[in-house]
Amino acid sequence: MKKFLYIPLIFILAAFLYLIEEDNTITSQKFSSEKFYENGLLIKEKNNYLQIANYDFEVDFIESERKIFVKEKLLWNNLTSHKTNELHFHLYANAYKSNNTLFAKVYYLKPENKTEVEIKKILVDGKEKNLIYFQPDIYNPNDSTVAKIILDRNVNPNESIEIYFEYELKIPISVKRFGAARGRNFFFISQWFPKIGVFENGKWICSQYHPYLNFYSDFGNYSAKIKVPKNFVVASTGVTKEEKTEGNSKHYFITQNGVHDFAWLTTDEIIKREETYSRKDGSQIQILAYLQPERERYFERYFNAVKNSLTFFEENIGEYPYQTVSLIDVPRTSASGGMEYPTLFTVSAELFARKNTGQPEYLTVHEFSHQYFYGLLANNEVYEAWLDEGFTSYIATKIMFEYYQPILENFKVAQFVPIFGINFLSYRDIPIIYTLTDAVIPEGARAITNYYKNINLGTIADTSYKSPTRLSYVVNSYNKPELVLLTLERYLGKEKMFMILKKYFEDYKFKHPKADDFFNVVQQYSREDMNWFFDEFIKSSKTFDYRVTHLKKISNTEYEVLVERLGDGIFKTDVSLITDKNVLTKKWDGKEKWKIFTFNTLNNVLSAEVDLHRKNLLDINVANNSYTVEEKYVASLSLAARWFFWIQNALMILGSIG
């Protein structure tokens, strides 16, 4: 009898020891994770960035006035070899001052959308100073998004200067990025403070707030004390060190080292959840997600998208160096969705978002990817936007095809309900000619669709803010660079491509890389001179189109393949003869306007193909890349019959509408 009593006691003791061990493990994980970071940054990265622009904010948010009152201290360190007797500043919020600003020429402002930075005091080294507004890029006397201060002394190399601002800023209803959501107590505060420009090679780079474009600024350390009503929460760049309530107010104490911007949100209606991403060394990343109550069901999908992104980057490119990453789901009435800031990004989701549509996962993956391309590789986006947007689009596509296959083509009914299939014609959001099918979207397909809308206007290498149209900016900053990077990957091989990306990241994180820096890294990993690739794909607007014109049998064993270069773009490619037993391939530098290739084989020849493996994603007509021995009349007739049916159907419906 006694020995039967020992059994449950043993199990109870074992369970108790297990729980203690589990509890100790959790405590150990939290402790060990903390020891890896200092003010939100991995300690091992503390000497890998220049502390040029260091900010300290005291912010008081008054809900009844919809205003913030700010005291800002800036310590600027001149870590260049040049002296300066002036300081240049961005005042991005002044873009919302009137409909005559550079920004508002595109985004029309209603009275509720307007605001400006109301400066109350400026001190430089303790002495009062004034701002002098000017326009460094495009002259517009009504644009006050850039200003300078003339100093009483030079700031010499390795010297510092302290600037103090006091100002207030009304939060407008958002038009883009910054502002309040209509009908909600949701205030997203970005590009809100006087931010010093970049002093580079003896001159200031401090661009106006251009429509469509992002920003350029130096790294440093940030701290903020933010006061809000006690029923509000704050989400922000960085780590919240302390949160306390005093009377009717709540105070947040936030810090973050090694970033070049600071954005924050305050609201009284949002759901917050937290998960962790753990590394093998014991360090952890806090993933903070803030969702609108109506989108609570998306928590798991958002978290998975962030974790998949972290895994992909850390395995293929480099380590995420910050302690936190915050995802902000914005209301439908906010224009702040789909934006990126250090350690924080904004997203949104449709009312209906079926799996396999790729949303909201793609948006989440894309905005997270900006933590690397923009956040850590902090290029000048006003001049070379593609180094951020293009790389981000490329990597986001790679992540989607790594974790979310298949992604199916779909269209929307009544703007909200996604249907899997291909829509050819709609009338007032009513699909008219369509097919219901599970059509898998190939890699790069959506970028190709946009590229076709703007094939020749502008180049990737053009100065971004000088793009002649918004479409040319979007295509040459997002879509075409994505296709070019996919083409480069297919030309060099995936393994080599990711070796290049890893090297590029390690060499230029916490710096300001330029296009030539990336080109140089590519050259390091290539056995051939790759300048031809950069010239053809990035520095020009050439059109690529190769065609197999004919396939002719000239003897029992000999076949002749005529290929043509119809476009002005040149791509080093392959010409292949496909038989019933194998594929014969010959290399072609792609330079001649036409060339005849001769193949010998005893096998039954089926077809000839140029660029068989579809390496050049900028080829505008892949339908002419192949030539078959036997023409497929049946397939042609079938397709023609379908088109006849769709067109007939459309004409009948449209005729009845009138």
Rounded to a whole number of angstroms, the CA Rg of the chain reads 29
How many whole angstroms from its chain centre is CA 647?
39
* Average pLDDT for 145-153: 98
At residue 244, the pLDDT reads 96
The least confident of 289-298, 497-506, 639-648 is 639-648
At residue 652, the pLDDT reads 39
Distance CA 360, CA 355 (A): 9
Given a contact cutoff of 8 angstroms between Cβ atoms, the answer to whether 369 and 392 are in contact is: yes
pLDDT band at 631 (very low <50, low <70, confident <90, very high): low
Region of 160 on the Ramachandran plot (φ > 0 left; ψ -120 to 50 alpha; else beta): beta
At residue 608, the pLDDT reads 98
Fold of 52-218: Immunoglobulin-like (2.60.40)
Read off the pLDDT of residues 334-376 as tens digits, 9 standing for 90 and up.
999 999 999 999 999 988 888 888 899 999 999 999 999 999 9
pLDDT band at 413 (very low <50, low <70, confident <90, very high): confident
Fold of 546-632: Immunoglobulin-like (2.60.40)
Would you list the DSSP string of 292-329?
-GGGGGGHHHHHHHHHHHHHHHHHHT----BSEEEEEE
| Residue in 657, 656, 562 with CA at minimum distance from that of residue 610 | 562
pLDDT band at 2 (very low <50, low <70, confident <90, very high): very low
Report the length, in residues, of the chain. Answer: 658
Read off the pLDDT of residues 562-572 as tens digits, 9 standing for 90 and up.
999 999 999 99
Given a contact cutoff of 8 angstroms between Cβ atoms, the answer to whether 178 and 193 are in contact is: no
| Residue in 76, 111, 79, 83 with CA at minimum distance from that of residue 97 | 111
The token duo for 445 is 């397909």
* Average pLDDT for 140-163: 98
Read off the pLDDT of residues 539-560 as tens digits, 9 standing for 90 and up.
999 999 999 999 999 999 999 9
Q: Could you state, in order of their start, the residue ranges of all structural domains in the chain?
A: 2-35, 52-218, 546-632
At residue 422, the pLDDT reads 83
Q: Is the pLDDT of residue 100 over 80?
A: yes
At residue 33, the pLDDT reads 63
Read off the pLDDT of residues 489-531 as tens digits, 9 standing for 90 and up.
999 999 999 999 999 999 999 999 999 999 999 999 999 999 9
* Average pLDDT for 601-609: 97
Tell me which H or E stretch contains 280.
Answer: none
Residue 234, classed as helix, strand or coil, is strand
pLDDT band at 635 (very low <50, low <70, confident <90, very high): very low
| Residue in 483, 349, 503 with CA at minimum distance from that of residue 416 | 349
At residue 18, the pLDDT reads 36
Region of 206 on the Ramachandran plot (φ > 0 left; ψ -120 to 50 alpha; else beta): beta
Domain 52-218 shares a fold with domain 546-632: yes
Distance CA 379, CA 391 (A): 12
Would you list the DSSP string of 442-455?
PTTHHHHHHHTTSS
Q: Is the pLDDT of residue 638 over 50?
A: no
Beta strands (DSSP E) in 140-219 are 146-155, 160-170, 179-180, 186-189, 195-196, 198-200, 203-205
Where b means 16+ CB within 10 Å and e means fewer, 387-409 reads: bbbbbbbbbbbbbbeebbeebbb
Given a contact cutoff of 8 angstroms between Cβ atoms, the answer to whether 226 and 234 are in contact is: yes
The token duo for 630 is 């036997």
Distance CA 69, CA 293 (A): 29
Q: Is the pLDDT of residue 229 over 90?
A: yes
356 Cβ contact partners less than 8 Å away, ≥ 6 residues apart: 404, 406, 407, 408, 420
Sheet holding 626-628, edge to edge: 583-588, 573-579, 605-610, 626-628
Q: Is the pLDDT of residue 643 over 70?
A: no
| Torsion of Cα atoms, 267 then 271 then 272 then 274, to 10° | -160
Distance CA 173, CA 189 (A): 11
Distance CA 177, CA 174 (A): 7
The least confident of 25-34, 232-241, 277-286, 434-443 is 25-34
pLDDT band at 630 (very low <50, low <70, confident <90, very high): confident
Q: Which residue has the tokens 């902090």?
A: 378
The least confident of 119-123, 187-191, 420-424, 476-480 is 420-424
Distances 478 to 55, 136, 280 between C-alpha atoms, Å: 32, 26, 34
Distance CA 174, CA 187 (A): 9
* Average pLDDT for 452-478: 96
Q: How many Cβ atoms sit within 10 Å of the Cβ of residue 100?
A: 12
Distances 25 to 18, 32, 36, 279, 323 between C-alpha atoms, Å: 10, 10, 17, 15, 20
Cα-based angle 259, 284, 290 (whole degrees, multiple of 5): 70
Q: Which residue has the tokens 């004409």?
A: 651
At residue 350, the pLDDT reads 86
Residue 475, classed as helix, strand or coil, is helix
Distances 327 to 182, 299, 368 between C-alpha atoms, Å: 20, 10, 9
Read off the pLDDT of residues 233-272 as tens digits, 9 standing for 90 and up.
999 999 999 999 999 999 999 999 999 999 999 999 999 9
* Average pLDDT for 286-299: 96
Read off the pLDDT of residues 43-56 as tens digits, 9 standing for 90 and up.
999 999 999 999 99
How many whole angstroms from its chain centre is CA 435?
32
